[in-house]
Structure 1
Amino acid sequence: MTMPTRVYIARLAGLTVFDPNGDQVGRVRDAVARLRGAANSPQVVGLVAEMPLRRRIFLSINRITSIDSEAVVLGSGTLNLRRFEKRPNELLVLEELLDRRVRIESTGGTGVVVDVAMESSRSGEWSLTRVAVREQTGRLTRRGQLHQLDWEMAPGLTGASEARGTANLLAVLEDMRPADLANALQELSDTRRNEVAAALDDARLADVLGELPEHDQVEILTALGRERAADVLEEMDPDDAADLLSELPLPERDVLLDLMQPDEADPVRQLLKYKPGTAGSVMTSEPVILPPDATVAEALARIREPQLSPAVAAQVFVVRAPMATPTGRYLGIVHFQRLLREPPAELLGAMVVNDLDPLQPGTPLPEITRRMAMYDLVAMPVVDTNNRLVGAVTVDDVLDQSLPRDWRDRTGDDDQSGGGTTPGQAPGAGPTGGPDG
């Protein structure tokens, strides 16, 4: 295999990392470079890979045997699984350089960094050598010219940065699942994290907030400003919005609820009334609900809706009108497996199952966990004293409440390690083409 010597780092983001046996280790999230003073370009010492369970580890560059447009492959040796922690003299290339403003000497104008290339020398050392910069035109309908600058011709890349855009960093992060994007945000500085969060659209940010620790949720929401914060809360599931608002001081909570649309705020207000640690406090107030005269075809169409989580889409709750919680009289459940076995025109009322007592809003979490485990359930109905459906507790709600409160917080790890080890023999390089012009 021919090994090019120049690699554009933004193109590595998201590539799968394999060990010598072909087993997946994780995915590339960034590159680590060691600063060497103003006279020398930074030395690339390795990559940061994200493993399952959101752990980021350091991969020394001398462990990498090949890089191409599909994957990164490691050579033999022991993999250090300790959590990566950047050292003071190190630089995370994508996190810290993308979207920086740079002066273009040849035109006298300015541009923003869209990619950075690392290159291997004859001695096998990798360093940052080229910077791809998109010229800013001031016109919304025209993309500026792309310039390829030598590292030394782009001064100021490693100093303190003024507030900058987020377009190119978001392009690197856009294909991540909400949980992975939340993990990436935790790696950013507070200022950069808030900039990136603010640049996400309301629905995407709502999904990401639900995957962050409570203190990060509060800080991001506060930085958005009240009007934008209310818009984002409207996009969140009511139970997630209620959990977030419960972390705020009561006056601020009331202001945000008043700014939300009434039909979005009302279910959140209801959830906030329940005692913590009960079915009412952890349930979703928007399960899949249909009347008994709905057909199997209608039910299958509802559970196919892409915004539904797997646990919510696993069953349909059948009730008398009205259909919004609190509903009319609760009749029972139809599981999706039963729906798949029945004719499309069959009515739900003919296949309802109601052999288990539903939960009450005050049912404590340990009792919910015991009953769901005993009967292998992914969701249970919650009804009030008048047998009206007020919500459903899903298995992911129970799991989230059963884990330690800080389980989403990456700063809680105690097995942190530094990034750099001095690279030895250079690996094979990868993609040779620069960013598209």
Structure 2
Amino acid sequence: MIRLNQYKYKEEYTYYMLQSLKDGKKDSFRKDFLDLHPMDQATFFIELSEERRFKIYSFLTPCEFGEIFSELEPSLQKKCIIELDRPFAVEMLNDLPPDDATDFFGLLSYKEADFYLERMEKDEADDIKQLLKYKKGTIGSLMTTDVVTVAKDDSVIDVFERLKHNEVDAETFYYLYVTDSNKQLLGVVSLRELIISAPECRMVEIMNAGIISVSADTNQSEVIQIIRKYALLAVPVVTENYELLGIVTFDDVLSYL
């Protein structure tokens, strides 16, 4: 992944991408553009004319454009959603992490939100509807429901095989959350612990049962203090019965400071 942090290099790299865009060289553009860090992709995109933005929409998949969309300011997100073909927009919203999608839906009118929610995949739409219920300023409004969960009897080798061969539907994961059949949170396993443990070890043997968690209505400032105090990368969000609802990551919280 390339970061455009040197002006001369950035200017040259940008020039060649613009030429590929202008000349309709899709493969050449995709090769250079998709090598960039998402933040640099967004910076490049922001500076484009409407005509060139439309060219990018045709060069990228909905999932690829979603990486850019998540980095855009709300005003530009609203402009893009109008410019995008409706099926493309719906597919992109399906692929967005639930917390990012929820932030965007919070910008829309009820009529606009309903239009997209009715056309999205049911599971994705249900996650967003649930997150939209939480008050602004609470952790529920920031959490993501994309969480990597494992069973207490899963072995280390089984978990590694799952992570290696199956698509893990999670935006980021720093910890594995051990849950029972009722989604009740039993413990947490760090990736470090997973790596250093013997292949035959079970999750129940290596998990930390002393879980630090918060409820969905916890204030964001309180969670910031918890993250700082315990040096956590993510905090599980649970119900009063300890059912796992999602997680909030340190970067999600810090972005609202």
Query: TM-score band, normalised by the shorter chain?
Result: 0.7 to 0.9
- Residue among 204, 214, 219 paired with 2:74: 214
Choose between structure 1 and 2: higher helix proportion: 2
Q: Could you say what secondary structure the match of 1:179 adopts? A: helix
How far apart, CA to CA, are the structure 2 residues paired with 1:308 and 1:183? 27
Letter of the 1:384 counterpart: T
CA distance, structure 2, for counterparts of residue 382 and residue 174 of structure 1: 34
Aligned to 1:298: 158
Q: Is the 8 A contact 1:15 1:27 kept in 2?
A: no
Q: Residue by residue, what CA displacement relative to the aligned partner does 1:141-183 show, whole Å, maximum 9, x if unpaired? A: xxxxxxxxxxxxxxxxxxxxxxxx4625444423212221111
Structure 1 match to 2:10: 29
Aligned equivalents of 1:269, 1:15: Cα separation in 2: 35
Between the aligned partners of 2:59 and 2:6, the Cα distance in structure 1 is 31
Residue 284 of structure 1 deviates from its aligned partner by 0.9
Q: In the alignment, which of 306, 330, 342 is matched to residue 197 of structure 2?
A: 342
Q: State the aligned residue count.
A: 254
Query: Residue type of the partner of 1:372?
Result: I
Per-residue deviation at 1:333?
0.5
CA offsets 1:178-200 (integer angstroms, 9 cap, x no match): 22111110111233224313431
Q: TM (normalized to structure 1)? A: 0.53
> In percent, how many aligned pairs have the same letter?
28
Letter in 2 for 1:387: Y
Amino acid across the alignment from 1:383: V
For 2:95, the equivalent position in structure 1 comes to: 235
Partner of 1:372: 227
Q: Name the aligned partner's letter for residue 380 of structure 1.
A: V
Asked if structure 1 preserves the Cα contact closer than 8 Å seen for 2:139 and 2:220, the reply is yes
Aligned pairs for 1:82-97 (under 5 A) are: 95=18, 97=19
Query: Whole-Å Cα distance in 1 between the matches of residues 214 and 3 of structure 2?
Result: 45
Structure 1 residues 87-126: aligned runs within 5 Å: 95=18, 97-100=19-22, 113=23
Partner SS for 2:76: helix
Q: For 1:243 and 1:202, locate their aligned partners in 2 and report how far apart those are by CA, in whole Å.
A: 18
Q: How far, CA to CA, are the matches of 1:268 and 1:385 in structure 2? A: 21
Residue matched to 1:265: 125
Q: CA deviation at 1:204?
A: 0.5
What is the alpha-carbon distance in structure 2 between the residues aligned to residue 198 and residue 277 of structure 1?
A: 37
Closer, same or farther in 2 for the Cα pair 1:190/1:166, shift >3 Å?
farther
17, 20, 34: which is aligned to 1:174? 34
Distance in 1, matches of 2:3 and 2:214, equals 45
The one-letter amino acid paired with 2:196 is R
Asked if the contact 1:314/1:378 (under 8 Å) is kept, the reply is yes
Q: Does 2:257 correspond to 1:397?
A: no
Which amino acid in the other structure matches residue 248 of structure 2?
A: V
CA RMSD of aligned residues (A): 2.6
SS in 2 for 1:218: helix
Show structure 1 runs of 5+ residues with no match: 1-13, 17-23, 32-46, 49-91, 101-112, 114-164, 323-327, 403-437
> Displacement, 1:383?
0.3
Q: Are the counterparts in 2 of residues 30 and 94 from structure 1 also a CA contact under 8 Å?
A: no
Q: What aligned pairs does 1:182-201 form with structure 2 within 5 A after superposition?
A: 182-201=42-61
Q: Which ranges of structure 2 fall in alignment gaps of 5 or more residues?
A: none
**8 A contact 2:220–2:253 mirrored in 1:** yes
TM-fit CA distance, 1:203: 1.2
State the partner residue of 1:287.
147
Structure with the largest fraction of strand: 1
Cα offsets for 1:330-371 (capped at 9, x unmatched):
112011111122111111012221324411000111111110
Separation in structure 2 between the aligned mates of residue 15 and residue 179 of structure 1, nearest angstrom: 9
